[in-house]
A and B are shown apart, each in its own frame.
Chain A
Amino acid sequence: MNIIYLLLPLALLLGLGFAVAFLRMVAQGQYDELETPAHRMLLDDEIVPNTVPRKTMR
C-alpha cells in the first residue's frame, strides 16, 4: 500500500491543476453568461446559401 504515498500527492496535484484552471476560467468571465453559449453551440459553422425554409416547401 506504500504506493498511496506516491498516488496521493499526484491525485492532489491533478486536482489542484483543475482547480487552478477553473479559477482562471472564472476570472476570464467564461461563466458570466450561461444562456447564449447553450444556443450558440447549435449553430453550424458553415452556412448553406439560400436555404429555403421548410414551411415554404409545402
Chain B
Amino acid sequence: MTPCMGIGSDTISPGWVGAPTRRICIHCSSPVSERRISSFCCSGCETVFALLQARGLGEYYRIRDRDRGLRKVAPVELSPDSYTQLDDPKFVELYARRSGELLTLKLYLEGVHCAACVWLSEKIGDFVPSVQSARLNLGDSVVEVTIQPSGSFAAVAREYARLGYRPHPVRTEDLDALARRSDRMLLARTGVAGACAGNIMLLAVSLYAGADGPMAEVFRWVSFALSLPVLCFSATPFYRGAWIALRGRQISIDIPIALGIFLGALSSAYNLVAGSPYLYFDSLSSLVFLMLASRYLLRKTQQAATHASRLIHFLTPARVRVIDSQSGSFREIAVDEIHPGDEVEVRAGECIAVDGFVVSGRSSLDNALLTGESKPVTASEGMIVFAGTVNQMGPLRIRATAAGGATRLGRTLRAVQEDLSKKAPIVTFADRIARYFVAAVLVAVAIVFGVGLRSGLDHAVNLALALSIVTCPCAFALATPLALSISMGRCARQGVLIKGVDVIERLSQARSVLFDKTGTLTRGKYEVTGWDPALGLDKDLKLASELAALESCSQHPVAKAIVQRFEPPASERLPTVQEFSEELGWGVLGQVQGHRYEISSRGAQGPLHAASSAVAVWRDGVRLGRIYFGDCLREDSSDVMARLRDLGLSVGIISGDSADAVARVAANLGLSPQEWRAELSPEDKREEAARTPRTVMVGDGANDAGALAAAHVGIAVQGGMEVSLLSADIYVRSPGVGAVGPLVVIARETLKVIRRNFVFSLVYNALGIAGVVAGLVTPLFAAILMPISALTVFLSSLAGTARLRRALGEITR
C-alpha cells in the first residue's frame, strides 16, 4: 500500500488494505485489484479484450508478448467523446488532405508503443469498412488514415478510442515538410560523403602501400575526382556555418573545420598538379563524413523529442455546447467561436472552457491544475468559474464572460509564450572552448610558419598547411553531438523527452530545484487518508460496504474517495440504499440495511490529524467517528528530496494551495519552513522561479507554466496540462518526480563525458602539432591520426561513465 501522508499510527488505523495481489490484467498487465472478479484491471481493458476476440484480432496479444520488455500498456480509459466534430465539413477542409476522391487525416494516438500497437492500429479497416489504409508512425504516435469520401473520420476516431488509443487530430503543417526536406538533404550529404570517402580510402591504401608509376597517377586523379562531390556538395553546411559566424563576428566550431577543409583541399590539389605525393583527400572526406553523421544523429534525437511535445500544441480546440437563447436548444461549436454573454453547458467530468459565472446548477469543481488547490470547491449559482477547471458532479450552465485568449488560462499561455521567446540560448561549453581553440590554432600556425620561414617559403607554407589540416577539429566537432545524442536518445526511450540541445548543459548547472505540490509531489487526487479508530473500518467490512453503498449514490469527490477506498470485492453486491438525499456542501443521508446513515460535515470539526478535511459518520443518530481526506504524497517524492540534497542541490516547494496543506507536505518531506511558499498566484510562481538563479522548476499545472518557462530548466511531469508541457524544456512521460534525481545526474555526467571528449581531441591535436613540428606529418600520418581520434571520442561517448549508465537505468516508466 502506498504511504499516505500524515497518518499517525497511534491515532488513526492504517486503513483497509487488500492483500498484495498476484493477478495481472490480461490486457494491460497492471495488477488487478482483489475486489474484482474478472481478470482485468478495469472495464476499459475488458471491453478492448472482448472487442479484439470478437473481431478475430486476438493475435494482438501474441505480437505483444513476443515484443515484451518494451513498455507497459496503460489501462484503457474509456472516453465518452463521440468525435462528431471530425465530420464537420469545415474541420475536414482544415485538417484533412484530399487526394483524388480519398481523404487523409492524421491522428495522434495516445498510448501506442509497440509492434502490437502498430499492428492493431493499422487493422482499423477491420472495424470501419470505409477505411482505405492506415499507417502508423510509432516515433510520433501519429497514424495516417485514408478513407473513402463516403466514410466518416468520427467513426474511425471512435473505434480508436474504444481500442484504448485516444485519438487527437493533427494538422498537417508546412513546417514539417520543411524540416523533412532539410533532414533528407543532410542524409543525402552524409551518404555521398560516406560513399566517396570509402572509395578514396581504398585508393589511398594502395598509394600508401607503395603503388607507383602510371597506376599511382591514375589513383591520385581518381581520388581527386571522388573528393569533389564531398568538398562541393557534402561539406557545404560547414562553409555556410563558418560564413554565418564570420559575418556575425562570432567564432564557431565551423570556422576551423571549414578552414581545414579548404586549405587541405587547396594544397592537395596543388600537390596533385605538381606531382607531389602529399594528398589529403582521404582524410578530408572521411572527416566530413563523420562530422555530418554525428550531426544527423543529434538532429534526429532532438527532433524526436520536440516533435512529440509539439504535437500536443496542434490538438483540436475543445468543443463546447452553447445554449441558444431563443429556442433553448444546444449547439456544439468550437471554443474559439464563443462570445462573451453566451451561455454554455458543462457536463460532469468535462473541463470548463470559458471564464464566466454559474447561471444554474450546483457541482463541485477541481481546481488542481489551474491553481494548485487540492481541495474541491463547491460551485453554486452566481459563482465565478475559470477555464481549465474540471466539473466533477452535475451539469452546470455558465454564462461566459471571456473565452479563448481572454480567459485567465489564455492570458497565462500568452505570458508563457512571451517568456519562452525571451529565453536566451546559453553560451555552451563547446562554443567557449571553440573560441580558445580557434585562437590557439591560428597562433600555432603563425609560429610554425614563422619558424619554417628559416628554411624557405615553400617549407613554411607546407608546414602551415599540414598544421591546419592536422588540427582540423574533427574529434572536437564530434565531442558534443555524440555525447548529447546518446544521452538524449536513451532518455527518450525511457519516456523522458528533452527538447533542446542546450537543456542538458543548463540542467547540469542547476543549484536548486523548486517543486509544485498538487499533482507533482502529491497525487493530486482527493483520497481517504484515515479514520478514527472507533469506526474500525478496517475490520468492520459490513460498515465499510454500507458506507460505500450510501456514497455510491453521490458524485461528490468525498463520496468518490469513500467508494474507491471501501468498495467491497466485486463478488459482493453493494447493499441497497433507500431514501437517499444529498445536500451539496453538507453531506448525504440514507437508509442502508435498516440503519439510518448520515455522512456529513455535522460534527466533523476538531483536530484533523494532518489530513486536509474530514466528515463525520452518523448511524441512527449516533456519531461513530470521522473519516479524513487529503491529497496523498507520491511514493517517490521523499526519496527524490533526499537524492537531490545528496547531489548538493537545495530543494523547495512553491504552491498555489493553502498554507496548511503545503506545510503538511513540507513537514512530511522534511523541508524547513524557509523552503516552501504557499498561496502563490501563477505570476508569483513565475517570479519566484525567475528570481532564483539556476533553478529547476518541476510542475504539472497551468499555474506552473509561467514558472516552467522562466526557470533555468523547466520539467513538466505526466498528467499536466498542455500549457505546462509546452513551456517546459523536459517532459517526463511518467507520473511522479522520480526521474528528476537521475536526470540531474545524467546532465552532470553527460557534461563530464563531453569534457573528457574534448580532452581526448585536444590530446590528439597536440600530437598532431608535435608531429608537424617534428616533420612527421605525411598524408598517412593524418589518415591514421584523424580516424583514431574520432574513434576515441565515439567510444568515449558510447561508454559514458558508470554513474551515467546507472542514472539512465534508474529512469524507468
Chain A residues with CB under 8 Å of chain B are 1, 4-5, 8, 11-12, 15, 18-19, 22-23, 26-27, 29, 31-36, 39-40, 42-43, 47-56
Least distance between A31 CB and chain B CB atoms (Å): 6
Inter-chain CA distance A11–B540, complex, in Å, is: 86
Do B137 and A31 touch across chains, with their CB atoms under 8 A apart?
Answer: no
CB within 8 Å for A18 and B195 given contacts A43-B119, A54-B61? yes
Q: Which residues from chain A contact B198 at a C-beta distance below 8 Å?
A: 15
Residue of A nearest to B195 (CB): A19
Do A42 and B67 touch across chains, with their CB atoms under 8 A apart?
Answer: yes
Do B56 and A29 touch across chains, with their CB atoms under 8 A apart?
Answer: no
Least distance between A45 CB and chain B CB atoms (Å): 11
Least distance between A19 CB and chain B CB atoms (Å): 5
**In the complex, B192 has a CB within 8 A of chain A:** yes
- CB-defined interface of B181-208 with A at 8 Å, one 1/0 digit per residue? 0011001100110010011000000000
**In the complex, B636 has a CB within 8 A of chain A:** no
CB within 8 Å for A56 and B118 given contacts A23-B188, A29-B180? no
Chain B residues with CB under 8 Å of chain A are 26, 39, 53, 56-63, 65-67, 114-115, 118-119, 136-140, 180, 183-184, 187-188, 191-192, 195, 198-199, 215, 218, 222, 226
Inter-chain CA distance A40–B137, complex, in Å, is: 10
Residue of B nearest to A40 (CB): B118
Q: Which residues from chain A contact B53 at a C-beta distance below 8 Å?
A: 50
Inter-chain CA distance A39–B56, complex, in Å, is: 21
CB contact between B184 and one of A11, A15, A31, A47 (< 8 Å): that residue: A31
8 A-B residue pairings within 8 Å (CB atoms)? A15-B195, A15-B198, A19-B191, A35-B138, A36-B138, A42-B63, A53-B61, A54-B61
CB within 8 Å for A12 and B222 given contacts A18-B195, A23-B192, A54-B65? yes
Do B199 and A15 touch across chains, with their CB atoms under 8 A apart?
Answer: yes
CB within 8 Å for A29 and B61 given contacts A4-B215, A39-B138, A40-B115? no
Do A23 and B191 touch across chains, with their CB atoms under 8 A apart?
Answer: yes
Do B188 and A26 touch across chains, with their CB atoms under 8 A apart?
Answer: yes
The 3 closest A-B pairs by CB, nearest first: A53-B61, A39-B115, A49-B56
Inter-chain CA distance A56–B61, complex, in Å, is: 10
Inter-chain CA distance A52–B62, complex, in Å, is: 8
Do A32 and B138 touch across chains, with their CB atoms under 8 A apart?
Answer: no
Q: Which residues from chain B contact A23 at a C-beta distance below 8 Å?
A: 188, 191-192
Residue of A nearest to B49 (CB): A53
Do B58 and A39 touch across chains, with their CB atoms under 8 A apart?
Answer: no
Q: Which residues from chain A contact B187 at a C-beta distance below 8 Å?
A: 26, 31
Q: Which residues from chain A contact B119 at a C-beta distance below 8 Å?
A: 43
Inter-chain CA distance A15–B63, complex, in Å, is: 39
Q: Which residues from chain B contact A56 at a C-beta distance below 8 Å?
A: 26, 39
Q: Which residues from chain B contact A35 at a C-beta distance below 8 Å?
A: 137-139
Inter-chain CA distance A52–B199, complex, in Å, is: 54
Residue with the greatest number of chain A CB neighbours at <10 A, chosen from B57, B139, B184, B192? B184
Least distance between B467 CB and chain A CB atoms (Å): 33
Residue of A nearest to B65 (CB): A54
Do B195 and A36 touch across chains, with their CB atoms under 8 A apart?
Answer: no
CB within 8 Å for A5 and B63 given contacts A19-B195, A36-B138? no
CB contact between B199 and one of A12, A26, A42, A50 (< 8 Å): that residue: A12
Q: Which residues from chain B contact A52 at a C-beta distance below 8 Å?
A: 58
Inter-chain CA distance A54–B63, complex, in Å, is: 11
Residue with the greatest number of chain B CB neighbours at <10 A, chosen from A19, A27, A36, A48? A36
Least distance between A20 CB and chain B CB atoms (Å): 10
CB contact between A36 and one of B118, B199, B218 (< 8 Å): that residue: B118
Inter-chain CA distance A39–B112, complex, in Å, is: 12
Do A51 and B115 touch across chains, with their CB atoms under 8 A apart?
Answer: no
CB within 8 Å for A51 and B195 given contacts A12-B222, A33-B137? no
Q: Which residues from chain A contact B39 at a C-beta distance below 8 Å?
A: 56
Least distance between A24 CB and chain B CB atoms (Å): 10
Least distance between B210 CB and chain A CB atoms (Å): 13
CB within 8 Å for A42 and B115 given contacts A29-B184, A53-B65, A54-B61? yes
CB contact between A47 and one of B59, B61, B199, B218 (< 8 Å): that residue: B59
Residue of B nearest to A33 (CB): B137
Q: Which residues from chain B contact A31 at a C-beta distance below 8 Å?
A: 184, 187
Inter-chain CA distance A1–B191, complex, in Å, is: 31
Inter-chain CA distance A12–B16, complex, in Å, is: 77
Q: What 17 new A-B contacts, CB under 8 Å, besides A35-B137, A43-B119?
A: A1-B215, A4-B215, A8-B218, A15-B199, A34-B139, A35-B138, A35-B139, A36-B136, A36-B139, A39-B67, A39-B114, A39-B115, A39-B118, A47-B56, A50-B58, A51-B58, A52-B58
Residue of A nearest to B198 (CB): A15
Residue of A nearest to B191 (CB): A22
Least distance between B588 CB and chain A CB atoms (Å): 41
CB within 8 Å for A33 and B139 given contacts A42-B115, A43-B119, A56-B26? yes
Q: Which residues from chain A contact B192 at a C-beta distance below 8 Å?
A: 19, 23
Least distance between A1 CB and chain B CB atoms (Å): 7
Q: Which residues from chain B contact A32 at a C-beta distance below 8 Å?
A: 180, 183-184
Least distance between B454 CB and chain A CB atoms (Å): 43
Inter-chain CA distance A45–B138, complex, in Å, is: 19
Q: Which residues from chain B contact A50 at a C-beta distance below 8 Å?
A: 53, 56, 58
Q: Which residues from chain A contact B59 at a C-beta distance below 8 Å?
A: 47-48, 51
Inter-chain CA distance A23–B233, complex, in Å, is: 13
Do A22 and B56 touch across chains, with their CB atoms under 8 A apart?
Answer: no
Least distance between B289 CB and chain A CB atoms (Å): 13
Inter-chain CA distance A18–B323, complex, in Å, is: 65
Q: Which residues from chain A contact B56 at a C-beta distance below 8 Å?
A: 47, 49-50
